[in-house]
Amino acid sequence: MHNLTIAELIKGLQSKEFSSVELTQHFLDRIATMNPGYNALITVTADQALRDAAEADRRLAAGNAPALCGVPMLHKDIFCTSGVRTSCGSKMLDNFIPPYNATVVENFEQAGAVVLGKTNMDEFAMGSSNETSFYGPVQNPWDTDCVPGGSSGGSAAAVAARLAPGATATDTGGSIRQPAALCGITGLKPTYGRVSRWGMIAFASSLDQGGPMARTAEDCAIMLSCMASFDEKDSTSIDQEVPDYSATLSKDVQGLRVGVPAEYFSEGLNPGTEKAVRAALAELEAQGAEIIDISLPNTGLSVPAYYVIAPAEASANLSRFDGVKYGYRCEDPKDLQDLYTRTRAEGFGEEVQRRILIGTYCLSAGYYDAYYGKAQQVRKLIQQDFERAFATVDVIMGPTCPTPAFKFGSKGDDPVAMYLEDIYTIATNLAGLPGMSVPCGMVDNKPVGLQIIGNYFDEARILNIAHQYQQATDWHNQAPEGVTS
């Protein structure tokens, strides 16, 4: 059962090939056996999952089951779940149990999905390797000496290891697409505002966006149809009709104009990764797509702009964690100043503290215009690059990451080298565009990803392209050794 896709599981449940209780128990058994080797989950909600599965079976038997009824899922531990610890990968929230569900969690509950647990992640979603988690790093199922990517590394590793058929994730600067590429699965970052951020613990509010991770584009389409919704509780949510993303998957790509930015194939790109991406582009060209060379001249400015804007917003968002209202609190504070200082020093990890300090500095008197204001101007230039490109092409494609998965600790002493892992993904967050990663090859027995970037609210198109590519190739069906048995 663990080798079936979400689409296949839905059919199997509806045709009574297996029950949701059987399916759920199967995945819980796999998690109990295999998760200690990957550390992909922080919390397992076995009892609740089995109760929900039994209810799903009753609904399936009654013939009034919603779309995902009985299908097991995982949530990234950044989404608040009522009555279940939601830690955001941090000591600061190790004891936090929300009294409510995030809108994304509520949407899956309404769709009848069964939640198996919460996945590991970089602390407060700050990282590209899943090495900053308070609960320890996640191992990449393809090579347990390598990182799975971050911050949604737990979700990516869990799907790659067949611990669940799908998982929710978030993307602030590439945190869905980069781990999807490094773990050989499919991941989609929707247009900013397409998926509600209410109940999703904030990192950088103008950049964060939730999205699905699964093995196939078809499964991501099914999940996105559930996740996407207008939410009046989220002031950045867009009131726009959610299409049936599965309805247009079978459309061919004849005449599709694919823009290929020169800046995505420059120095720093692994030669094997480039070869795999070029082969993927050739496959789409063989299906009738037109490959067009384009330029996104301000791509090189995306990383410095991002690492001013994101830390600045993080500094503001994380100011609420002070030991007074909820979360970690230091022992025996001498006074209020000591409470604040020691709570934050003890509760936050090194990378989170680094970004808070950077952000606070950028927002301080005398530096706001020079740093944060200037970064926002650069952000506009990056957005205009995309606007010009989409005047002549339908989608933009290139590598998701410059390299395949790297060894643990290999970039820990050089934060800038780590930040450059997101060089091809950050710009879409700055512009608010949708993007996804699909497996397109292997380098040194490790997967690499093809990134597909669409225009605003063009998720249906990029899902269609990804599906057509996956119909013609087999990379998305490749699995790490030992996980399919």
Active site residue 206: no
- pLDDT, averaged across the chain: 96
CA proximity to 458, closest of 228, 236, 191: 191
Q: How far is CA 22 from CA 57, 72, 222, 478, in A?
A: 10, 11, 22, 25
pLDDT per residue as tens digits for the range 410-466: 877 777 777 778 899 999 999 999 999 999 999 999 999 999 999 999 999 999 999
Q: Would you place residue 166 in the very low, low, confident or very high pLDDT band (cuts 50, 70, 90)?
A: very high
- Cα separation, 349 vs 327, whole angstroms: 14
Tokens of 426: 């950050």
Quickly state the pLDDT bin for 485 (edges 50, 70, 90).
Answer: confident
Catalytic residue among 128, 133, 175, 196: 175
E strand or H helix at 327: none
Region 162-180: mean pLDDT is 98
Q: Is 87 a catalytic residue?
A: no
Query: What does residue 456 show for φ and ψ, rounded to 5 degrees?
Result: -55, 130
Q: What pLDDT is recorded for position 414?
A: 73
Identify which has the larger pLDDT, 64 or 200. 200
Look up residue 141 and give its two tokens. 């199922």
Contact 153, 121 (CB under 8 A): yes
Asked if 191 contacts 453 with a C-beta cutoff of 8 angstroms, the reply is: no
Q: What is the pLDDT of residues 184-231, one digit of tens each?
A: 999 999 999 999 999 999 999 999 999 999 999 999 999 999 999 999
Round to whole Å and give the CA distance between 130 and 149. 6
Q: What integer is the mean pLDDT of 369-384?
A: 95
pLDDT for the residue 184: 98
- The pair of structure tokens assigned to 437 is 């990663």
DSSP 8-state symbol, 330? -
Percent of the chain clearing pLDDT 90 (strictly above)? 94
Cα Rg, the chain, nearest whole Å: 21
Residue with tokens 């949708």: 434
List, in sequence order, every residue forming a beta bridge with 396; answer none if it has no partner: 259, 453
Q: Which DSSP category does 102 fall into?
A: -
Per-residue pLDDT at 473 = 98
- Is the pLDDT confidence value at 239 over 80? yes
- Angle made by CA atoms 187, 422, 277, in degrees to the nearest 5: 65
Instruction: Find the farthest-apart pair of alpha carbons in the chain and give their distance in angstroms, rounded.
Output: 70
Q: Is residue 250 annotated as part of the catalytic site, yes or no?
A: no
Which phi and psi (to 5°) does residue 441 adopt? 165, -175
Q: Evaluate if residue 169 carries a pLDDT over 80.
A: yes
CA distance 224 to 188: 9
Give the chain's domains with CATH numbers.
Answer: 6-256+435-477 (3.90.1300.10)
The catalytic residue among 20, 151, 196, 237 is 151
pLDDT-derived band at 85, boundaries 50, 70, 90: very high
Q: Give CA–CA dist 467/291, Å, rounded.
A: 18
What integer is the mean pLDDT of 381-393?
98
d(CA 458, CA 227): 16
For the cut 90, the answer to whether the pLDDT of residue 379 exceeds it is yes
Least confident of 159-163, 384-388, 406-410: 406-410
